[in-house]
Amino acid sequence: MSQIAVVDMKGNKVSDLELNDSVFGIKPNTVIMHAMVVNYLANQRQGTQSTLTRTEVSGGGRKPWRQKGTGHARQGSIRAPQWVHGGVALGPKPRDYSYSLNKKEKRLAMKSAFSSKVLDNDMIVVDKFEIEGYKTKTVVEMLKALGADKKALIVTSAVDSKLIKSAANIPGVKTATVNTLCVYDILNYDKFIVAKDAVAKIEENYAKKKIEEVNK
Protein backbone atom coordinates (compact mmCIF):
# COMPACT_ATOMS: atom_id res chain seq x y z
CA MET A 1 0.00 0.00 0.00
CA SER A 2 1.16 3.53 -0.77
CA GLN A 3 1.46 6.13 1.95
CA ILE A 4 0.40 9.75 2.13
CA ALA A 5 1.19 12.38 4.73
CA VAL A 6 -1.58 13.51 7.08
CA VAL A 7 -1.36 17.19 7.98
CA ASP A 8 -3.19 19.55 10.30
CA MET A 9 -4.96 22.74 9.23
CA LYS A 10 -1.67 24.66 9.45
CA GLY A 11 0.07 22.30 7.03
CA ASN A 12 2.20 20.56 9.66
CA LYS A 13 2.67 16.82 9.23
CA VAL A 14 0.89 14.79 11.89
CA SER A 15 1.32 11.20 10.70
CA ASP A 16 1.35 8.92 7.67
CA LEU A 17 -1.68 7.15 6.25
CA GLU A 18 -1.68 3.97 4.20
CA LEU A 19 -3.96 4.17 1.18
CA ASN A 20 -5.82 1.23 -0.29
CA ASP A 21 -4.23 0.62 -3.70
CA SER A 22 -7.48 -0.80 -5.09
CA VAL A 23 -9.02 2.67 -4.66
CA PHE A 24 -6.15 5.17 -4.73
CA GLY A 25 -3.47 3.22 -6.56
CA ILE A 26 -4.95 1.96 -9.82
CA LYS A 27 -3.87 3.10 -13.28
CA PRO A 28 -6.27 5.94 -14.16
CA ASN A 29 -8.58 5.11 -17.05
CA THR A 30 -8.83 8.40 -18.94
CA VAL A 31 -11.45 7.10 -21.36
CA ILE A 32 -13.94 6.16 -18.65
CA MET A 33 -13.26 9.39 -16.73
CA HIS A 34 -14.03 11.39 -19.87
CA ALA A 35 -17.22 9.38 -20.41
CA MET A 36 -18.28 10.09 -16.82
CA VAL A 37 -17.65 13.82 -17.17
CA VAL A 38 -19.66 13.97 -20.41
CA ASN A 39 -22.44 12.02 -18.68
CA TYR A 40 -22.44 14.44 -15.73
CA LEU A 41 -22.62 17.52 -17.97
CA ALA A 42 -25.38 15.98 -20.10
CA ASN A 43 -27.41 15.24 -16.99
CA GLN A 44 -27.12 18.90 -15.92
CA ARG A 45 -28.81 20.13 -19.11
CA GLN A 46 -32.36 21.33 -18.58
CA GLY A 47 -33.48 20.67 -22.15
CA THR A 48 -36.18 23.37 -21.95
CA GLN A 49 -35.30 25.22 -25.18
CA SER A 50 -38.17 25.36 -27.64
CA THR A 51 -39.02 26.95 -30.98
CA LEU A 52 -42.37 27.32 -32.77
CA THR A 53 -43.01 25.27 -35.86
CA ARG A 54 -45.19 26.50 -38.72
CA THR A 55 -48.21 24.82 -37.15
CA GLU A 56 -47.70 26.73 -33.88
CA VAL A 57 -47.12 30.26 -35.26
CA SER A 58 -50.27 32.34 -35.33
CA GLY A 59 -51.63 33.59 -38.66
CA GLY A 60 -51.13 32.34 -42.17
CA GLY A 61 -54.48 30.64 -42.44
CA ARG A 62 -55.01 31.50 -46.08
CA LYS A 63 -52.91 31.10 -49.20
CA PRO A 64 -51.08 34.43 -49.84
CA TRP A 65 -51.71 34.37 -53.61
CA ARG A 66 -53.01 32.03 -56.22
CA GLN A 67 -50.94 29.04 -57.32
CA LYS A 68 -50.14 30.15 -60.88
CA GLY A 69 -49.89 33.28 -62.99
CA THR A 70 -48.41 35.76 -60.49
CA GLY A 71 -44.73 35.35 -61.33
CA HIS A 72 -44.01 34.49 -57.74
CA ALA A 73 -42.97 31.12 -56.38
CA ARG A 74 -45.94 29.13 -55.15
CA GLN A 75 -46.70 29.64 -51.46
CA GLY A 76 -49.15 27.97 -49.14
CA SER A 77 -48.78 30.06 -45.99
CA ILE A 78 -46.96 33.18 -44.82
CA ARG A 79 -45.94 31.22 -41.74
CA ALA A 80 -43.74 28.75 -43.69
CA PRO A 81 -40.08 28.69 -42.51
CA GLN A 82 -38.76 30.81 -45.42
CA TRP A 83 -40.99 33.74 -44.44
CA VAL A 84 -40.07 36.42 -41.90
CA HIS A 85 -41.88 35.59 -38.64
CA GLY A 86 -42.55 32.13 -40.01
CA GLY A 87 -42.11 28.91 -38.09
CA VAL A 88 -38.70 27.31 -37.48
CA ALA A 89 -37.81 24.20 -39.45
CA LEU A 90 -36.20 21.41 -37.42
CA GLY A 91 -35.77 23.67 -34.38
CA PRO A 92 -35.12 22.42 -30.84
CA LYS A 93 -37.94 21.09 -28.71
CA PRO A 94 -37.98 20.20 -24.99
CA ARG A 95 -36.17 16.91 -24.43
CA ASP A 96 -34.35 14.96 -21.75
CA TYR A 97 -30.59 14.81 -22.34
CA SER A 98 -29.83 12.60 -19.34
CA TYR A 99 -28.57 9.05 -19.60
CA SER A 100 -26.82 6.67 -17.24
CA LEU A 101 -23.69 4.56 -17.16
CA ASN A 102 -23.55 1.17 -15.49
CA LYS A 103 -22.25 0.67 -11.94
CA LYS A 104 -18.93 -0.87 -12.98
CA GLU A 105 -18.14 2.14 -15.18
CA LYS A 106 -19.07 4.57 -12.40
CA ARG A 107 -16.90 2.77 -9.84
CA LEU A 108 -13.93 2.59 -12.21
CA ALA A 109 -14.28 6.27 -13.09
CA MET A 110 -14.35 7.29 -9.41
CA LYS A 111 -11.34 5.15 -8.51
CA SER A 112 -9.49 6.47 -11.55
CA ALA A 113 -10.20 10.05 -10.43
CA PHE A 114 -8.98 9.31 -6.89
CA SER A 115 -5.83 7.63 -8.20
CA SER A 116 -5.08 10.48 -10.61
CA LYS A 117 -5.09 12.97 -7.73
CA VAL A 118 -2.67 10.81 -5.74
CA LEU A 119 -0.48 10.31 -8.82
CA ASP A 120 -0.31 14.07 -9.45
CA ASN A 121 0.32 14.86 -5.75
CA ASP A 122 -2.87 16.91 -5.67
CA MET A 123 -4.51 14.99 -2.81
CA ILE A 124 -4.11 16.46 0.68
CA VAL A 125 -5.27 14.55 3.75
CA VAL A 126 -6.16 16.69 6.76
CA ASP A 127 -6.31 15.14 10.22
CA LYS A 128 -9.55 16.98 11.06
CA PHE A 129 -11.27 20.28 10.34
CA GLU A 130 -11.67 22.34 13.48
CA ILE A 131 -13.53 25.60 12.90
CA GLU A 132 -14.87 27.67 15.76
CA GLY A 133 -17.98 29.47 14.60
CA TYR A 134 -18.55 30.56 11.03
CA LYS A 135 -15.27 32.12 9.95
CA THR A 136 -14.23 32.41 6.33
CA LYS A 137 -10.83 33.68 7.45
CA THR A 138 -10.04 30.34 9.11
CA VAL A 139 -10.67 28.41 5.89
CA VAL A 140 -8.69 30.93 3.80
CA GLU A 141 -5.70 30.61 6.14
CA MET A 142 -5.95 26.81 6.01
CA LEU A 143 -5.97 26.79 2.21
CA LYS A 144 -2.90 29.06 2.07
CA ALA A 145 -1.07 26.85 4.56
CA LEU A 146 -1.91 23.77 2.47
CA GLY A 147 -0.87 25.44 -0.80
CA ALA A 148 -4.40 25.13 -2.14
CA ASP A 149 -5.48 28.76 -2.43
CA LYS A 150 -6.65 28.48 -6.06
CA LYS A 151 -9.28 25.85 -6.85
CA ALA A 152 -9.90 23.34 -4.09
CA LEU A 153 -12.46 20.66 -3.29
CA ILE A 154 -12.87 20.04 0.45
CA VAL A 155 -14.35 16.65 1.35
CA THR A 156 -15.71 15.56 4.72
CA SER A 157 -17.24 12.29 5.85
CA ALA A 158 -20.45 13.97 7.03
CA VAL A 159 -22.13 17.36 6.69
CA ASP A 160 -20.17 20.05 8.55
CA SER A 161 -22.32 23.18 8.52
CA LYS A 162 -19.58 25.42 9.95
CA LEU A 163 -17.09 24.39 7.27
CA ILE A 164 -19.67 24.59 4.48
CA LYS A 165 -20.82 28.11 5.38
CA SER A 166 -17.30 29.35 6.12
CA ALA A 167 -16.11 28.24 2.66
CA ALA A 168 -19.27 29.16 0.75
CA ASN A 169 -18.15 32.63 -0.40
CA ILE A 170 -14.53 31.77 -1.24
CA PRO A 171 -14.05 31.83 -5.04
CA GLY A 172 -12.92 28.51 -6.51
CA VAL A 173 -13.67 26.48 -3.36
CA LYS A 174 -16.33 23.83 -3.01
CA THR A 175 -17.26 21.53 -0.13
CA ALA A 176 -18.69 18.05 -0.49
CA THR A 177 -19.30 14.89 1.50
CA VAL A 178 -18.17 11.42 0.48
CA ASN A 179 -21.72 10.53 -0.59
CA THR A 180 -22.02 13.54 -2.92
CA LEU A 181 -18.66 13.20 -4.69
CA CYS A 182 -18.58 12.98 -8.47
CA VAL A 183 -15.81 12.54 -11.03
CA TYR A 184 -16.42 15.99 -12.53
CA ASP A 185 -15.78 17.79 -9.24
CA ILE A 186 -12.70 15.72 -8.39
CA LEU A 187 -11.09 16.49 -11.75
CA ASN A 188 -12.34 20.07 -12.00
CA TYR A 189 -10.54 21.29 -8.88
CA ASP A 190 -6.76 21.62 -8.59
CA LYS A 191 -6.49 20.28 -5.05
CA PHE A 192 -8.43 17.43 -3.48
CA ILE A 193 -8.49 18.10 0.28
CA VAL A 194 -9.92 15.19 2.26
CA ALA A 195 -10.50 14.65 5.96
CA LYS A 196 -8.78 11.56 7.36
CA ASP A 197 -12.07 9.90 8.35
CA ALA A 198 -13.45 10.68 4.86
CA VAL A 199 -10.58 8.70 3.30
CA ALA A 200 -11.59 5.69 5.40
CA LYS A 201 -15.19 6.07 4.25
CA ILE A 202 -14.15 6.32 0.58
CA GLU A 203 -12.12 3.13 0.92
CA GLU A 204 -15.03 1.42 2.65
CA ASN A 205 -17.39 2.37 -0.17
CA TYR A 206 -15.17 1.62 -3.15
CA ALA A 207 -13.03 -1.29 -1.90
CA LYS A 208 -15.99 -3.25 -0.56
CA LYS A 209 -16.71 -5.12 -3.77
CA LYS A 210 -13.12 -6.35 -4.11
CA ILE A 211 -13.16 -7.62 -0.51
CA GLU A 212 -16.38 -9.53 -1.14
CA GLU A 213 -14.88 -11.12 -4.25
CA VAL A 214 -11.80 -12.24 -2.28
CA ASN A 215 -13.99 -13.78 0.44
CA LYS A 216 -15.82 -15.84 -2.17
Dihedral through CA 76, CA 77, CA 79, CA 81, nearest 10? 10
Cα 162 from Cα 102, distance rounded (Å): 35
> pLDDT tens for residues 19-33?
999 999 999 999 999
In terms of pLDDT, which residue wins out, 21 or 207?
21
The residues of the chain that CATH labels 3.40.1370.10 are 2-45+99-215
Whether the model pTM is above 0.85: no
Region class of 166: left (phi > 0), else alpha (psi between -120 and 50), else beta? alpha
Amino acid at 80: A
On the question of pLDDT at 149 being above 90, the answer is: no
* Residue-level pLDDT at 209: 57
Contact (CB, 8 A) for 152 and 167:
no
What is the arithmetic mean of pLDDT over 25-42? 96
Cα 215 from Cα 118, distance rounded (Å): 28
In terms of pLDDT, which residue wins out, 2 or 154?
154
Contact (CB, 8 A) for 146 and 214:
no
> pLDDT tens for residues 62-109?
999 999 999 999 999 999 999 999 999 999 999 999 999 999 999 999
> pLDDT tens for residues 157-171?
999 999 999 999 999
Please report which confidence band the pLDDT of residue 215 belongs to, taking 50, 70 and 90 as the band edges: very low
DSSP structure string for 9-28: TTS-EEEEEEEPHHHHSSPP
CATH number, span 2-45+99-215:
3.40.1370.10
